[in-house]
A and B are shown apart, each in its own frame.
Chain A
Amino acid sequence: MAQRQRDEQKLWLILFQLKAIRARINSLAAQYFAFSALAIVIVGAATVVAAALALRPLGFLLIAIIVAIAACITIIRVIRTALRSSASPVKAASMADDRGGLKGRLMTVLLMSESGQTSELWRYLVEDTYGRRGEFEPAKIEPRWFSRSIFALLTACILALFVVRIARLGLDSHTLRMRGLPNQVTAELGNLDIRPADPGLEPNAEIYADEATMQKLANKFASAQGNANDKGGLSQWLNKARNLAGALQNEITGQQRRPPVELRLTDKDVAASEQPRSHHEATAPGGNNGANRPGTGKSSRGPEPGSTPGQMPGQLAQNGPGFPGQLGNDSSQTSPSDVGSPASGGAGSGGGVSHGAGSDPEHLFGPPSSQPLGSDSFKITIDAQPSDESSTPGAPAYIPPKIRAPLNDRQHEDEPIARASVPAADQITIKRVFER
């Protein structure tokens, strides 16, 4: 009986040691899976982020798809390898037999202990195996605590940091360059070379111009796209893909769309045709022709109902008193590219000129307005001609911004007041003053 108990104890110790071996082998298999999968995800994510930072939308989308497919395939292979590396009790015993040189003892003990062995040599087998337990200690069979795939994970982390950092540096330099670009650009319509843009580019400009200039611009668009044939469904799908990729890129990189540049178009022909009228409006007393123009002579800051946004700058420019154009009547001598300047004699300038000159008492008063006048007063417009070439090779041509600077730093801003209707009794008095 005692002998039998001792035999059972020895058997139990052998099986316990086998369990420890199996636990260690399976732990390594689990670590292999975890570290490898994590490394794949990190490298894949870094590649996608780097592509988002460095590539155009379609290129980014292609890279992202390839990376996703490759990552899925690799993770599946990692799973299969991890499953193959894991060990059932029999497999663990067989591995221990091979590595410990036990020639099948452990596997036989494990399997026969479950089946109730009746052989005369069973005790001998247990005794013999127990006597060799030093040869199948877990540390001897599997000395590693950690899977070697941890190095792959560490390498992946370092690589990811490096790649993202490099890509981020590139983005930062690009962002710095973009910051130097002006928010407002004025251009002459006649100088513009209009052709279909890269579909990958998002809309990045708002165009302001008067109605005639807008119409001319539309004609120019139509002629530019006349030869560009519609590519049909593929083009639409590509555009959709680009939009999706672009949105994804922005999500990943956290970049906000740059506010669109205000592009103000002028047209020499339109300016020339309106100059005599503006002159006419500037000299005729009470001339408020501008009041009849849509959106002109109004003390509005924003776009008027029924007016086009392209006329808004003109309105802003004209509605304040003290316009340089009003003083000198030299609208024809100002830069033709400045549509907002009242000196250009834009469509919206007539009313303001007529108001400021006071030359026509009969047309002195305009209709009441609920919105206050603009406060662009006592400011001078500094304009410059655009340059065809850039100092940096490959960079776009420099279009200098229009600057409005105050004449007097200590000048208080006008407090705009809403135009109200002049009482009839007062109107007579005012007219009498102008007549004198």
Chain B
Amino acid sequence: MRTENEPQSMTAEQPSIGDFARIFRRIQAEIHKAIIGHERAVEELLSALFAGGHVLIEGVPGTGKTTLVKTLGLVLNLSFNRIQFTVDLMPADITGTRVILSGADGRREFSFQPGPIFCHILLGDEINRATPKTQSALLEAMAELQVTAGATTYPLPPPYFVMATLNPIEMEGTYPLPEAQLDRFLFKVRLGYPGEDELVRIITATTGPEEAGVAPVFAVEEAAERLEALKRLVREVIVAPPIEQYAARMVRATQPENPRIIGEHRSPVRVELVNRYVSFGSSPRGALALILGAKVRALLDGRANIAYDDIDQLAPAALEHRIMLNYAAHSDNVDAARIVEQVVKAVRPTRV
């Protein structure tokens, strides 16, 4: 239902802002039929989906990471695969490999068997258990949306959405993702322990005879197309130059004053915690994450433009996993969340 101020869609194929907000809320509601709690995490997950990025989910075991991703796949009515990363997993196990097959005429030929990576929505469980080689195979697919096997490149079907999970405990025998790889994820979403009320509801929902019925929002044949249309609409959201400067300033404020690294241009905003505890700040991908995520938030609010507060709200999800802390931070028990909070406070007065 359109509001009084909302104009009609530009074309029949392009959804309007109202359509976007309605679809988003509906997907959210369907997901929450199966996932109890984690409202902010679900919203960030969907924001990353519509922004065209991928998500790194961090949470202790049993907090619903896999259920969340599976439910998303069901609601969107898109193909969904799950990869459980282990130490012995090889890159070909996820990307696919060429096998020799006998044809009908008896001829043997190589045929590419696509791996589980070929789907619309992929869940990479405990990615930090895989070897760096296997990790990089997935990350290459995420960045380029294609897989190269032998001399042939196979594109991945759009929309392509990867959710990789991290188990923050049981770090023995794991291969922590390098910062350069972490940087490829648009947002990092945290799933914490549920509260008492939420736990009670979880118990009721999961131990009873009835299962949560999740209804798909899109029809199978149009799901991909509609999702792509919604993603294009996100890109149309207008960003004023002061907002872009604000996002850039926030990213640069996460970079410590190190002339060898940041070059000649120093950040105009100086944050003491950054200089003391940060080895490397956010890359420019952080600014892209801020703007794209803010665009989704603007559309949810019925706006065609980004506001400063949109940037502030997304700063933790977009920047925390891109900041590399030094040993002093670990010894003083300072985490990236606190750093980002101080950065947001320091940059806020520079608004126009």
- Interface residues of A, Cβ cutoff 8 Å to B: 90-91, 94, 97, 103-105, 107-109, 111-112, 117, 119-125, 127-128, 131-132
Determine if A125 and B352 form an interchain contact, defined as CB atoms under 8 angstroms apart: no
A93 and chain B: residue at smallest CB distance? B352
Q: Once the chains bind, are A128 and B304 in contact (CB under 8 Å)?
A: yes
Q: Give the complex CA separation of A107 and B305 in angstroms.
A: 10
Let me know if A131 and B4 touch, CB within 8 A. yes
> Does any Cβ of A come within 8 Å of B351's Cβ?
yes
Is the Cβ of B304 less than 8 Å from the Cβ of A125?
yes
Contacting pair A124 B242 (CB below 8 A): no
Contact among A91, A104, A121, A123 with B240 in the assembled complex (CB-CB below 8 Å): A104
- B residues near A107, Cβ cutoff 8 Å: 240, 242, 352
Report if B307 contacts A (CB, 8 A): yes
Residue of B16, B302, B308 touching A104 (CB-CB under 8 A) = B308
Does B285 touch A at the CB level, under 8 Å? no
Within 8 A of A (CB), among B302-339: 302-309
Q: Which residues of B contact A109 (CB under 8 A)?
A: 305
With A91-B352, A94-B351, A103-B303 as contacts: A121 and B237 at CB distance below 8 Å: yes
Interface residues of B in 250-306 (CB under 8 A from A): 301-306
CB within 8 A of A94: which of B7, B304, B352? B352
The chain B residues found within 8 Å of chain A, CB to CB, are 4-7, 10, 14, 16-17, 233, 236-243, 301-309, 351-352
CB distance from B244 to the nearest CB of A (A): 11
Nearest-neighbour CB distance to chain B for A85, whole angstroms, equals 15
Interface centre among B17, B240, B241, B351 (most CB of A within 10 A): B240
- Inter-chain contact B6/A125, CB cutoff 8 Å: no
A132–B5 CA distance with the chains assembled, in angstroms: 8
Contact of A128 among B242, B303, B307, B351 (CB under 8 A): B303
Q: List 11 A-B contacts (CB under 8 A).
A: A90-B352, A94-B352, A104-B240, A104-B305, A104-B307, A111-B241, A120-B233, A124-B7, A125-B305, A127-B7, A132-B5
Known contacts A111-B241, A119-B236, A120-B10, then 12 further A-B pairs from the complex at CB < 8 Å, ordered by chain A residue? A103-B301, A103-B303, A103-B307, A104-B305, A108-B305, A111-B242, A119-B237, A121-B17, A121-B237, A124-B16, A127-B6, A127-B7
A-B pairs, 9 with minimum CB distance: A131-B5, A121-B304, A104-B307, A108-B305, A103-B307, A125-B304, A108-B240, A94-B352, A120-B236
User: Closest residue to A131 on the B side, CB-wise?
Assistant: B5
For residue B242, which residues in chain A have a CB less than 8 angstroms away from its CB? 90, 94, 107, 111
Asked if B238 contacts A125 (CB within 8 A), the reply is yes
- Is B306 touching A104 in the complex (CB atoms < 8 A)? yes
Which of B238, B241, B307 is the one whose CB lies under 8 Å from A121? B238
B240:A112 contact, CB within 8 angstroms: yes
Give Cα A114 to B267, complex, Å.
29
A125 closest partner in B (C-beta): B304
Query: Most chain-B Cβ atoms within 10 A of its Cβ — which of A97, A107, A121, A125?
Result: A121
Counting chain A CB atoms within 10 Å of each CB, which of B17, B307, B309 scores highest?
B307
A123 in contact with B238 given A90-B352, A103-B301, A103-B303 (CB within 8 Å): no
A119 to B6, CA, bound (A): 16
A103 CA to B298 CA in the complex, in Å?
A: 9
Within the assembled complex, what's the spacing in Å between the Cα atoms of A128 and B299? 13
Distance in angstroms from B111 CB to nearest chain A CB is 43
Complex-state Cα separation, A105 to B301, whole angstroms: 12
Contacts of B309 in A (CB 8 A): 103
A residues less than 8 Å from B351 (CB atoms): 94
* A7, chain B: closest CB distance, angstroms: 10
A97 to B243, CA, bound (A): 13
State A210–B352 Cα separation when bound (angstroms): 86
Checking B7, B237, B301, B303 against A123 with a beta-carbon cut-off of 8 angstroms, the contacting residue is B7
A119 and B238 form a contact (CB under 8 A): yes
Give Cα A90–Cα B352 distance, bound, in whole angstroms.
7
Taking a contact as CB atoms under 8 Å apart, the answer to whether B4 and A112 are in contact is no
Contact A105 B4 (CB under 8 A): no
**Complex: A109 Cα to B238 Cα, angstroms:** 9
Q: Of the candidates B4, B14, B302, B352, which one forms a contact with A120 in the assembled complex, judged by CB atoms under 8 Å apart? A: B14
The CB with the most chain B CB atoms within 10 A, among A97, A111, A123, A124, is that of A124
Q: How far is the CB of A109 from chain B (nearest CB, A)?
A: 8
Contact, CB under 8 Å: A121 / B301: no
When distances are taken between beta carbons in the complex, the residues of chain A under 8 Å from B6 are 124, 127-128
Query: Residue among A94, A117, A120, A123 with the most chain B CB within 10 A?
Result: A120
Q: How far is the CA of A124 from the CA of B239 in the complex (A)?
A: 14
Interchain CB contact under 8 A, B7 and A111 = no
- Identity of the chain A residue whose Cβ is nearest the Cβ of B241 in the assembled complex: A111
Looking at the assembled complex, report how far the CB atom of A421 sits from the nearest CB atom of chain B, in whole angstroms: 102
> Which partner residue on chain A sits nearest B309 by CB separation?
A103
A104 touches B7 (CB 8 A): no
Q: How far is the CA of A121 from the CA of B236 in the complex (A)?
A: 6
**Could you tell me if B243 and A104 are in contact, using CB atoms closer than 8 angstroms?**
yes
Q: Verify A112–B303 contact, CB threshold 8 A.
A: no
- The interface centre, meaning the residue of B17, B242, B304 with most chain A CB atoms within 10 A of its CB, is B304
A359 and B308 alpha carbons, distance in the complex (Å): 118
Contacts of B303 in A (CB 8 A): 103-105, 125, 128
Complex CA gap A90/B241 in Å reads 11
Give every chain B residue within 8 A of A132 (Cβ-Cβ).
Answer: 5
Q: In the complex, what distance in Å separates the CA atom of A123 from the CA atom of B305?
A: 12
B17 touching A124 by the CB < 8 A rule?
A: yes
Interface centre among A128, A131, A132 (most CB of B within 10 A): A128
B240 touches A127 (CB 8 A): no
* Bound complex: CA A41 to CA B6 (Å): 55
The docked-state distance in angstroms from the alpha carbon of A124 to that of B237 is 10
Tell me the complex Cα distance, A121–B309, Å.
20
Name B11's closest neighbour in chain A (CB-CB).
A120
Interface-centre pick from A111, A112, A117, A132 (highest chain B CB count, 10 A): A111
Least Cβ–Cβ distance between B323 and chain A, in angstroms: 27
